[in-house]
Chain A
Amino acid sequence: EAAVTQSPRNKVAVTGGKVTLSCNQTNNHNNMYWYRQDTGHGLRLIHYSYGAGSTEKGDIPDGYKASRPSQENFSLILELATPSQTSVYFCASGDMGRGGDTQYFGPGTRLLVL
């Protein structure tokens, strides 16, 4: 079965600090995604990647950077964390099938920015 893992699972950060969220997938999928999920909202796409070395802006990229150093790893970086970035973050890897990308999600990272 598809396997996407995230670390850390929980994180408390201070305003202005740097936060790095990591994601690893063993599916050998080319595509990887970072989403955030807030109460009352669906998942909103922050950054995504089509392969090692590539990153693309999603729908809400402001305040976030991404890094894809290898096929397996995709990181989300908050250079200067703010309380508004308190959320649950999900990573996903994608199987680019016909007519859409079936995505396999990790368990999520709960981030609290104080």
Chain B
Amino acid sequence: SQWGEENLQALSIQEGEDVTMNCSYKTYTTVVHWYRQDSGRGPALIILIRSNEREKRSGRLRATLDTSSQSSSLSITAAQCEDTAVYFCATDSNTGANTGKLTFGHGTILRVHP
């Protein structure tokens, strides 16, 4: 899990395996963003899931959201070496008015080995 006092998580897998990263958040949100950060670059949005969606898919990516437990997950199917990156979840503390602000988790380092 990425949130709270947890340190940066690290996962190491072989190419072709499936992997799931988890994120728990503390405050109310209407959306969970998942960003990917490659070495030496800024983060980039890869998938976004809203509170009225339990699951969202994009290619080999699958995001889930459970608002009752305030948790989200990101799964990658058949991981490839190019999936090696740091993955962050982020929430918008939306109380009805779009603030635009995001709060990021600590991130998960994913290494995919050939």
Q: Which A residue sits closest to B89, measured CB to CB?
A: A42
Contact of B41 among A31, A33, A94, A107 (CB under 8 A): A107
A45 to B30, CA, bound (A): 19
Q: Which B residue sits closest to A45, measured CB to CB?
A: B101
A100 to B103, CA, bound (A): 11
Q: Interface size class for chain B? A: 20 to 34
* Interface residues of chain A: helix, strand, loop or mixed (majority): strand
Contact of A105 among B31, B42, B105, B106 (CB under 8 A): B42
A contact residues, total (Cβ < 8 Å): 30
Taking the nearest CB of chain A, how far is it from the CB of B96, in angstroms? Answer: 11
A64 at the B interface (CB under 8 A): no
Taking the nearest CB of chain B, how far is it from the CB of A57, in angstroms? Answer: 11
Contact of B88 among A39, A43, A101 (CB under 8 A): A43
A90-B42 in contact given A42-B107, A96-B100, A100-B102 (Cβ < 8 Å): yes
**B2, B7, B43, B106 pick with most chain A CB within 10 angstroms:** B43
A43 to B105, CA, bound (A): 8
Contact yes or no, A100 B94, CB < 8 A = yes
**Sampled A-B contacts (15; CB under 8 Å):** A35-B104, A39-B8, A40-B8, A42-B88, A45-B101, A59-B103, A98-B98, A99-B30, A100-B30, A100-B33, A100-B98, A101-B101, A104-B44, A105-B42, A106-B42
Binding site for A on B (CB under 8 A): 2, 7-8, 30-31, 33, 40-45, 48, 50-51, 88, 92, 94, 98-107
